[in-house]
Structure 1
Amino acid sequence: MASISSLGAGSGIFSNDLVNQLVEAERAPTETRLNRREAETQSKISAFGKIRSALEGLKSPMEALSKSDSMKAYTASSSNEGVVGVTLDSSKANRGNYSVDVQQLARAQSLASTEQADRDTTAMGTGTLTLNVGGNSTDITIDSSNNTLQGIADAINDANAGVSAGIVDTGSGYRLVMSSDESGTANEISVTVADDVGSNTDSDGLSRFAFDGATSNMEETVAAKDAILDINGITVTRSSNTIENVVDGVTFNVSSTGTSTVKVDQDPGAVADKVQAFVDKFNALQDQIKNVSGYKSVSEQGGVLSGDATIRGLQNDLRQQLTNIPSGLENSPIRMLADVGIKTDPGTGKLQFDQAVFKEKLQENPEAMTTLFADSDQGEGIATQMVASAERFLGSDGLLSNRTDGLNATLQDIQDQRDDLADRIASYEERLISQFTAADRLISQIQSSGNYVQQQLAAMAPSGGGGSGG
């Protein structure tokens, strides 16, 4: 770019300010137009982002309602929580009453060694301990580096053999205690010994830890037991106090012996909460649509997406689903959402939800309710159809993505035009400077010639004389 540091120095007519004013006058109309277009495009991208977020928020509860078990929800209670607690998997549970008599709790086996004078210095012998728990055998090498009570306990814990070990201070000495990690008779501990010195079954050296049914050199301080309980008169035995896979979807957590009555009942309130989440997200989407495309009375203008075909298409799709009658319900007392307490406010387009009506219909006809919302043998429910509608807009090649991609392309085009404008303005500025510099030089020459002529004329003029009259 040409230097303009001395522009106007010769004539005083042209100046840097004049060049700047002419450049700005050339730049301003196009730049203003591009700024306005960019701001409008950015606003549309932001608006589509808000619609996408609201639609994704709606899709989640719709997906929950589209599952075949969406209308199943149960609650469980125990008359004696101190004996039996209960947890449920509503997708598998069914109504039922269960009389539970806990006769025995499951326990893990514990073994204790003979008492020793210390835990860290006395050698216990060397060789191999083989632990068998639940049919799994683990060999543990005991040598001079770990043949104390504490060393053997650490080696057992490091072996992950299904046994935990520790040292108990009795007050008069120390005992090694082994406990099965899992309760029940199936997890009893067997310890066989390959002693480097003497017999594998005597009470000296490493063999003092043998406990394998034939040799009991350790003391069984706690016997392994299974949980035993009667459920509606049927005896059930488990190795754990968490009793699963007895009643579908029901887990009994027993904590003491005694009796309790467990009741599993339908929980229409939990299902209504799922539907309420759908209604709330649907209404939130309507608010966003109104915000970006509705008429604003304060500004007396439409939203940035007013009249947009994609937004109209989304609205039409969702509204159509609200009044659909799924296959199989044509002659049912439950045919559409309005029949179960979900109605549209014609003034706002939002949904109104009467939970009392919904709960009543759910208890009267749970199968028809499932058909209304979810996939069934008859076909797709309303929630399933609405999920499909949402995906048409939300997918990577969906309508919202296509619109956003188009707007991003517009932003790139605007940037390209800005680059072209910058090049054109730079060229225009250089041209102005060149023209003004030439004009300035010409005027300077004219001024110089004028000064010369004036000087010559002044030289030719007669000098003033002072003659005296006689």
Structure 2
Amino acid sequence: MSTINFGGLASGMDTGSIVDALMEIEKQPLERLESDKEYFTSRQDAFDTLETKLKTLLGKFEDLDSSGEVRAYSASAVSDEYFSVSASGSALGGSYNIEVQSLARQQKDVSDGSYESRSEANFTTGTLTIGTTDITIDNDSLDSLVDKINAANTGDSATGVAASIIQDGSGYRMILTGEDASSTFSASVSGGTTANGYAALTFSTTQTQSQASIVVDGVTITGGSNTFEEAIPGVSITLNKVHPNAGDTTVMNVSEDVDAVKTKVKDMVTAYNAVINYISDQKDSDWGRDSGMMAVKRNLQKMLTSQIATGGDLTTLSQLGLETQRDGTITIDNTLLEEAITTDMNIMDKLLAGGEGFDGISSLFTEYLDSTTDRVDGLAATRQTSTDRTLKTINANISKMETRLEKREEMLRAQFDAMELLISNLNSTGSYLTQQLSLFNS
């Protein structure tokens, strides 16, 4: 409800400004609470930001905490006309001669008849059997029967056969396709009746299945798809085309990818420096002196100098060219790093990823960082719990104080309005008396 203020009309005083000034004094405790709220919110934001950077660093060390991840290989064929290749960190360097003898083909069966409509109920009753799975036909259209066939190709008892529809120019036909070139399937309809004058549903095989076959350095390998994942350890081979002549081969080379390994190490260093720089940037703030935040920097620097019994010449990160600066960040000596990759990759692998019976430096970091960023017991999580309690109390006090101040302001304005009204009445009474005295004297 709106209120009417007299604003010093009777007294000549600026009562509105007086109330505003009084309320500024009254609001000082509220301003302190709002300042506290801003502080604790900024404090938690700082820990949340640190956690984000720590998680990024965790991901970079996870990319280096197993042998297959530390190593990086590249695979290439002299020509990708017949096959394309890619390599993982578990590959072995070498040169291979590969012949593509045949491509994998799945069995395809096509319905013998064609149908004018996909959606009309052309099949009234019967049972479609694929392998050992029976599918009931009950006033189905091509579309609904295809849906039933594909539904049967799910779960633990999947038929291994997918259905689709094509338009052959004169009508619609159903195609059944085996999902594995290693096996065949059978499809038949029993007790089938049709509507709209169509013949019973039957299928003919238009493409027989055949396995893919390659020859690697004289050894023949077959498979149910055109991609071979295990023919050569750590190398994926995808077939594109059969060699035209028996005995023709294409050379594939697998070699250490020095640049890829360097990139992984550099990415880790970048993430590490981001954490150290961020903590250093907080040093002038109250939370920058938090024991937990200071411990993170201290522990990271300690682990960085860990010595690992690799059984070789590389036992510390400094021997990879990673040097700690006075501000706690790391720089990389690219010459030392590349030398370690090209001449001592096996020992570098053990230094970072560990070996039988011992952890590598990356494993030490991942274990610590995983604990530090834990959603329940991690640094940011524990600070969040205490901060939430504090902010809850502050917000409650702010709400109470805002209500009290609102009532206080209403009371002050009402008091000043009452004063103005009283003065106005007194002024009116004085004017009346003055007028009466003037009449009496005359």
Above 0.5 in TM-score? yes
Matched residue, 2:280: 290
Cα deviation digits, residues 29-52 of structure 1 (max 9, x gap): 434433443433333333333222
Whether contact under 8 Å (2:127, 2:192) holds in the other structure is no
Whether contact under 8 Å (2:5, 2:413) holds in the other structure is no
The answer on 1:272 being equivalent to 2:262 is yes
Matched residue, 1:467: none
Cα deviation digits, residues 370-426 of structure 1 (max 9, x gap): 332234334332222223333443222333333344344443444444455443784
The answer on 1:242 being equivalent to 2:206 is no
Shift of 1:436: 9.9
Identify which range, 366-375 or 425-434, moves more after superposition.
425-434
Matched residue, 2:218: 233
Shift of 1:242: 2.2
Matched residue, 1:98: 96
The answer on 1:411 being equivalent to 2:391 is yes
Aligned pair partner of 1:318 in 283, 296, 300: 300
Larger Rg: 1
Query: In 2 relative to 1, CA 374–454 (structure 1 residues): closer, same or farther, beyond 3 Å?
Result: same
Matched residue, 2:154: none
Whether contact under 8 Å (1:168, 1:177) holds in the other structure is no
The residue correspondences of 1:52-131 to structure 2 (distance < 5 A) are 52-90=51-89, 92-110=90-108, 120=116
Whether contact under 8 Å (1:184, 1:225) holds in the other structure is yes
Whether contact under 8 Å (2:65, 2:352) holds in the other structure is yes
Matched residue, 1:298: none
Aligned partners of 2:13, 2:364: CA distance in 1, in Å? 73
Query: In 2 relative to 1, CA 240–59 (structure 1 residues): closer, same or farther, beyond 3 Å?
Result: closer
Aligned partners of 2:123, 2:428: CA distance in 1, in Å? 120
**One-letter code aligned to 2:391:** L
Matched residue, 1:353: 332
Whether contact under 8 Å (1:73, 1:267) holds in the other structure is yes
Aligned partners of 1:431, 1:110: CA distance in 2, in Å? 90
Any idea what SS the aligned residue of 1:87 has?
strand
Shift of 1:241: 2.3
**One-letter code aligned to 1:240:** S
Query: In 2 relative to 1, CA 26–264 (structure 1 residues): closer, same or farther, beyond 3 Å?
Result: same
Any idea what SS the aligned residue of 1:287 has?
helix
Aligned pair partner of 1:186 in 178, 183, 187: 183
Aligned residues: 416
Shift of 1:340: 0.3
Shift of 1:363: 3.5
Aligned partners of 2:412, 2:145: CA distance in 1, in Å? 89
Shift of 1:20: 0.5
**One-letter code aligned to 1:317:** N
Aligned partners of 1:185, 1:63: CA distance in 2, in Å? 37
Cα deviation digits, residues 273-305 of structure 1 (max 9, x gap): 221111111222233223332xxxxxxxx3464
Whether contact under 8 Å (1:113, 1:175) holds in the other structure is no
Query: In 2 relative to 1, CA 29–247 (structure 1 residues): closer, same or farther, beyond 3 Å?
Result: same
Aligned partners of 1:13, 1:344: CA distance in 2, in Å? 74
Cα deviation digits, residues 359-378 of structure 1 (max 9, x gap): 32134333432332234334
Whether contact under 8 Å (2:65, 2:360) holds in the other structure is yes
Query: In 2 relative to 1, CA 417–14 (structure 1 residues): closer, same or farther, beyond 3 Å?
Result: farther
Any idea what SS the aligned residue of 1:66 has?
coil
Aligned partners of 1:261, 1:222: CA distance in 2, in Å? 31
Matched residue, 1:387: 366
The residue correspondences of 1:137-152 to structure 2 (distance < 5 A) are 137-139=132-134
**One-letter code aligned to 1:337:** L
The answer on 1:401 being equivalent to 2:399 is no
Identify which range, 63-72 or 426-435, moves more after superposition.
426-435
Aligned pair partner of 2:316 in 324, 336, 339: 336
Give percent identity, aligned residues only: 21
Query: In 2 relative to 1, CA 364–441 (structure 1 residues): closer, same or farther, beyond 3 Å?
Result: same
Any idea what SS the aligned residue of 1:186 has?
coil
Shift of 1:61: 0.8
Matched residue, 1:260: 250
Aligned partners of 2:32, 2:192: CA distance in 1, in Å? 95
Question: What is the aligned-residue RMSD (CA, Å)?
Answer: 4.7
Whether contact under 8 Å (2:166, 2:174) holds in the other structure is yes
Identify which range, 47-56 or 302-311, moves more after superposition.
302-311
Matched residue, 2:153: none
Whether contact under 8 Å (2:27, 2:405) holds in the other structure is no
Query: In 2 relative to 1, CA 363–425 (structure 1 residues): closer, same or farther, beyond 3 Å?
Result: same
Shift of 1:85: 1.8
Q: Compute the TM-score of the two structures, normalised by the length of structure 1.
A: 0.70
Shift of 1:312: 1.9
Aligned partners of 2:188, 2:428: CA distance in 1, in Å? 122
Whether contact under 8 Å (1:70, 1:370) holds in the other structure is no
Whether contact under 8 Å (1:321, 1:386) holds in the other structure is yes
Aligned partners of 2:427, 2:115: CA distance in 1, in Å? 116
Gapped regions of structure 2 (runs ≥ 5): 151-158, 194-198, 244-248
Gapped regions of structure 1 (runs ≥ 5): 198-204, 211-217, 294-301, 464-470
Matched residue, 2:38: 39
Whether contact under 8 Å (1:129, 1:191) holds in the other structure is no
**One-letter code aligned to 2:86:** T
Matched residue, 1:213: none
Matched residue, 1:365: 344
Query: In 2 relative to 1, CA 350–233 (structure 1 residues): closer, same or farther, beyond 3 Å?
Result: same
**One-letter code aligned to 1:280:** T
Aligned pair partner of 2:291 in 286, 290, 309: 309
Aligned partners of 1:338, 1:129: CA distance in 2, in Å? 72
Matched residue, 1:281: 271
Whether contact under 8 Å (2:68, 2:88) holds in the other structure is no
Whether contact under 8 Å (1:127, 1:206) holds in the other structure is no
Shift of 1:89: 3.9
Any idea what SS the aligned residue of 2:349 has?
helix
Whether contact under 8 Å (2:128, 2:187) holds in the other structure is yes
Aligned partners of 1:307, 1:6: CA distance in 2, in Å? 54
Aligned partners of 1:413, 1:175: CA distance in 2, in Å? 71
Shift of 1:318: 1.2
